[in-house]
């Protein structure tokens, strides 16, 4: 089943080299916008034009895409400039109308891949239909779900299937809109080595200034292609305005990329380091947040102690903390010395925050008393 997936260069569109680039607006907005963007992108040398017709928006009321009528704009623009066109489909009806209109390739978005019921419905609708399908990673960092969606499509007998890595959402603040978690696409490659892999740096970055870096990184991991959002007038785009490039800037970006020949496995090692650093960033974020929560509680204790007139430092409590935390730390491969140092600064800050809090209340009490006296 996994055999026989065709490389991009054999998809029948006459593509060669690396990277194969799909570019175009996040959303088709008007016939003129699609055509002008496509014409400029043709000059940039891209291999296909993408555009969103139906947009999966997080909140109701935001721009939902122009819908069915925009299909024709995209098909016409593709024909005029002589490039294949691709759109996102999210239900069997989308597939039907997109193919009837003459769209050349389809992709499954991150919010579709996440749902096996829906992916299966799409796969059922695709049986016997020979159209290239690209499968974006699911929004959550779940390799099995991504692989499962790809397998459902491959099972229909289609051999023009590719993966698009668009990053994964996370709760933590991050420099990325969707964190790349490079380990996940790398593992997918290991499991399905024939499957072409494209990177969508636009949805990974959420801005334009990191696009070149992420694109280069993907190329150095031997990705075959890129899918990048490009709009003739990004500032006024109806969706994903911050991350779209003008076709002119896309030309600069593509020219800046260095296409290195596959050498050794070292580049895979490189991405592991990047991934580990991302993990450290996340943990650090958690550490600071947790310290903030701890100090917030310390201030509440400050209130309590003030109201109940008890002392700040309670030696038995401190002794108990030290004992239990060192025990826990040691069981988690931390040294006693580290835990002692760590807790001594945490405790110092805690006492400082409590004291400050108590002084604050006592000042405001004094203030109130003065006011009532005057
Ligand atoms: C898009 O490509 O415009 C899009 C909605 O992407 P994703 O499914 O990756 O969020
Ligand atoms: Mn978009």
- pLDDT tops 60 at residue 283: yes
Q: What pLDDT, on the 0 to 100 scale, is given for residue 361?
A: 82
51 CA distance to ligand 1 centroid (A)? 10
More confident residue, 348 or 6: 6
Place 1 in a pLDDT band, splitting at 50, 70 and 90: very low
301 CA distance to ligand 1 centroid (A)? 47
Q: Determine if ligand 1 sits within 6 Å of the CB of residue 198.
A: no
DSSP state of 262: P
Place 273 in a pLDDT band, splitting at 50, 70 and 90: confident
Q: Whose CA is nearest to atom 8 of ligand 1?
A: 109
Q: Which ligand is nearest to the CA of 54?
A: 1
Between 134-143, 177-186, 355-364, the lowest mean confidence (pLDDT) is in 355-364
Do 8-256 and 267-373 have matching folds?
no
Q: Are 106 and 135 in contact (CB under 8 A)?
A: no
**Domains in the chain: boundaries:** 8-256, 267-373
> How far from each other are the two terminal CA atoms of the chain, in whole angstroms?
88
- pLDDT tops 90 at residue 231: yes
Q: Determine if ligand 1 sits within 6 Å of the CB of residue 26.
A: yes
Q: Is 204 exposed, middle or buried (0-12, 13-18, 19+ CB in 10 A)?
A: buried
User: What's the pLDDT tens digit per position in 345-354?
Assistant: 998 899 899 8
pTM score, two decimals? 0.75
Place 374 in a pLDDT band, splitting at 50, 70 and 90: very low
Distance, CA of 44 to CA of 21 (rounded, Å):
10
Q: Taking the domain 8-256, which CATH number applies?
A: 3.20.20.70
- pLDDT tops 70 at residue 371: no
User: What's the pLDDT tens digit per position in 35-73?
Assistant: 999 999 999 999 999 999 999 887 888 899 999 999 999
Alpha helices (H) in 45-126, listed in sequence order: 69-81, 92-101, 110-113, 116-126
Q: What pLDDT, on the 0 to 100 scale, is given for residue 368?
A: 67
- The angle subtended at Cα 191 by Cα 87 and Cα 148, nearest 5°, is 50
284 CA distance to ligand 1 centroid (A)? 29
- pLDDT tops 70 at residue 339: yes
What's the average model confidence in pLDDT over 137-150? 98
**Fold of domain 267-373:** Chorismate Mutase Domain, subunit A (1.20.59)
The full 3-state SS of 21-52, as one line of letters, equals EEEECCECCCHHHHHHHHHHHHHHCCCEEECE
């Amino acid at each position: 089943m996994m055999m026989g997936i065709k490389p991009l260069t054999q998809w029948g569109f006459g593509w060669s080299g690396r990277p194969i680039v799909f570019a175009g607006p996040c959303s088709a907005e008007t016939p003129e916008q699609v055509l002008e963007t496509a014409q400029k992108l043709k000059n940039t040398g891209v291999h296909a034009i993408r555009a969103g017709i139906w947009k999966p928006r997080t909140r109701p009321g935001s721009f939902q895409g122009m819908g069915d009528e925009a299909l024709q704009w995209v098909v016409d623009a593709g024909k005029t400039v002589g490039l294949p066109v691709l759109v996102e489909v999210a239900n069997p009806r989308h597939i039907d109308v997109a193919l009837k209109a003459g769209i050349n390739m389809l992709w499954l978005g991150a919010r579709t891949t996440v749902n096996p019921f829906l992916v299966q419905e799409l796969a059922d609708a695709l049986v016997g239909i020979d159209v290239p399908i690209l499968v974006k990673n699911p929004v959550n960092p779940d390799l099995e779900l991504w692989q499962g969606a790809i397998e459902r499509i491959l099972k229909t007998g289609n051999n023009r299937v590719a993966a698009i890595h668009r990053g994964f959402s996370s709760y933590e603040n991050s420099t990325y809109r969707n964190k790349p978690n490079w380990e996940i696409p790398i593992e997918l490659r290991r499991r399905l080595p024939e499957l072409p892999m494209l990177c969508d740096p636009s949805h990974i970055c959420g801005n334009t200034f990191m696009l070149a870096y992420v694109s280069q990184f993907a190329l150095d991991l031997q990705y075959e292609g890129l899918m990048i959002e490009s709009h003739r007038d990004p500032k006024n785009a109806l969706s994903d305005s911050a991350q779209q490039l003008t076709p002119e800037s896309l030309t600069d970006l593509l020219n800046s990329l260095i296409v290195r020949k596959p050498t050794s496995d070292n580049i895979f090692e490189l991405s592991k380091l990047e991934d580990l650093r991302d993990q450290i960033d996340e943990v650090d974020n958690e550490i600071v947040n947790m310290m903030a929560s701890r100090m917030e509680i310390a201030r509440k204790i400050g209130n309590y102690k003030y109201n109940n007139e008890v002392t700040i430092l309670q030696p038995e409590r401190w002794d108990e903390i030290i004992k239990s935390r060192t025990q826990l730390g040691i069981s988690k491969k931390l040294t006693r010395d580290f835990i002692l140092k760590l807790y001594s600064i945490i405790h110092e800050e805690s006492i400082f925050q409590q004291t400050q809090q108590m002084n604050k209340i006592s000042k405001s009490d004094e203030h109130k008393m003065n006011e009532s006296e005057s």
